Amino acid sequence: MLSSIILIEYRYHILSVFFKNSNGLKKSILIMASIGIVGAGLFGIYHFKKDSSDGRAFIWKVTTEIMADAPVFGVDFDRFKANYMNYQADYFEKNGETPEALVADNTYYAFNEWLQYAVENGLTGGVFLALFLYALFKVNVDKKEQFMVAISFSGLLAISGFALFSYPMQILPIKMIIVILLGFLSVLDRRKYKILNIQNKPHIPVFFKATVFILGTIGIVKGVEYANSLDRGFETWQNALNKYRYGDYDGALEDYAKAYPVFRKEGDFLMNYGKALSIAEQYGKAVGILEEAKQHLNTTIIETALGDAYKGLKQYDKAETAYYHAVTILSIVFTSKTL
C-alpha cells in the first residue's frame, strides 16, 4: 500500500495538491482518517490470524534476549537458526508453561529481517547498514530520471515493510529484485566514481589486461563448476529424501554420503542425514552428523534423533538430556497432548 501510494502520488500529485489547497481542518481530518483506517486495518489483520501474529511477537521477544547477550558483534552471519531454539528452550525453562507455548514451534527465521540482522551482526553490522542507507538516500540523479528513483525507492520500501513481518531476504527472486533496484540507483547517480575508465586510460599495461582476463576467466570457470556441483548435490539430496520416504535407508544413506561434501555446512541436510543414520541404527555416525547439524540449525527433530542415537548407544544420560531439551523447546505443546 505504501509503495503504491508513493507511485500514485508521484504520478498524479493528489496529496500535494490537496494539502496545498486545503485549510488546517481538512488536513487534520485527512490525517486522522488515515491513521484510523491504518489502525483498523492492522487490528483486523492481527485478529484474522491471531495465532500467527502472537507467534511472531513471541519470536521477537525471545530474539531480543539473544541480542542482549551479543550486542556488539552479534551471533555471526546466518547463525540465528543455530541459536534461537536454545534461547526458546531457556525461556520456557525459566518461565514454565506460559500461554506462549501454544504458539511456539521450530523456528528458522525471526520473521523480522531488521531484527534478525541486528541479532546476527550486532552494533558493528548496524554501523555498516547505517552507512549504506545514508549513501542510498544521498543518491543524486538528473530531474528527467526522477521517475526511476521513485520506482526504485517504492520497491525497496515495499520489501522493507514486508521485512518487518516476514523473511524476504531468504527468497531468491526478492533478492534479485533488490539487486536490480539498487543497480538502477547506482547507474543513475551523477556522483558515481569510475574506478576503471578505459577511455581516459589508453595506456593500460598489457600485463594488467592479461591478469584481469585470466582472473576473470578463472572466476567464471570456478563459478560454473560450483553451480553445477550444487545442482548435482540438490538432485542427490532429493533422491535421498525419496528413498528415505519409501524405507530404502541403505540407498538413502548412500546418496546422503555423496552429497555430504557439498552440504556439510547446511543444517537441513545434516538433520536429514543424521535422522536417516539414526533410523538405520548407525548410531555412532548419527551422533556425529547430528552434532554437526546443531552448529548450523537446532530443532526438535535434531534433538529427538540425537536422543534416539544416544539411546541406541546405551548412553542414557545423554539421551535423556537430548529428549528433555526437545521437550523444553516447545514446552507445554508436548505435555498438553500427553495429558
Q: What are the structural domain ranges in the chain?
A: 1-37, 223-338
Q: Mean pLDDT score of the chain, rounded to an integer?
A: 87
Q: In the predicted model, is pLDDT for residue 196 greater than 90?
A: no
Task: Give me the pLDDT at residue 246, please.
Answer: 92
The CA distances from residue 163 to 177, 185, 263, in Å, are: 14, 21, 27
Task: Give me the pLDDT at residue 61, please.
Answer: 92
Q: For the chain, list the strands marked E by DSSP.
A: none
Element of type H or E holding 209: helix 206-245
Task: Give me the pLDDT at residue 145, please.
Answer: 83
Task: Give me the pLDDT at residue 332, please.
Answer: 46
> Cα(first)–Cα(last) distance of the chain, in Å?
46
Residues near 240 by beta carbon (within 8 Å), at least 6 away in sequence: 251, 252, 253, 255, 256, 259, 272, 273, 276
Q: In the predicted model, is pLDDT for residue 146 greater than 90?
A: no
66 touches 87 (CB < 8 A): yes
Rg, C-alpha atoms of the chain: 26
Task: Give me the pLDDT at residue 241, please.
Answer: 95
Q: In the predicted model, is pLDDT for residue 262 greater than 90?
A: yes
Name residue 261's amino acid: P
Task: Give me the pLDDT at residue 200, please.
Answer: 56
Q: In the predicted model, is pLDDT for residue 189 greater than 90?
A: no
Q: If you average pLDDT over residues 220-233, what whole number do you get?
A: 94
Q: In the predicted model, is pLDDT for residue 333 greater than 60?
A: no
**pLDDT of 80-95, one tens digit each?**
998 998 898 888 888 8
When pLDDT is cut at 50, 70 and 90, the band that residue 335 belongs to is very low
Lowest mean pLDDT among 85-89, 198-202, 297-301: 198-202
Question: Is 223-338 in CATH node 1.25.40.10?
Answer: yes
Task: Give me the pLDDT at residue 338, please.
Answer: 39
188 touches 147 (CB < 8 A): no
When pLDDT is cut at 50, 70 and 90, the band that residue 45 belongs to is confident
DSSP 22: S
Q: CB-hemisphere CA count at 13 Å for 290? A: 26
Lowest mean pLDDT among 18-22, 40-44, 139-143: 18-22
- pTM, 2 dp: 0.79
Question: In terms of pLDDT, which residue wins out, 94 or 159?
Answer: 159
Q: In the predicted model, is pLDDT for residue 5 greater than 50?
A: yes
Task: Give me the pLDDT at residue 331, please.
Answer: 65
Task: Give me the pLDDT at residue 201, please.
Answer: 58
The CA distances from residue 84 to 162, 295, 329, in Å, are: 21, 12, 10
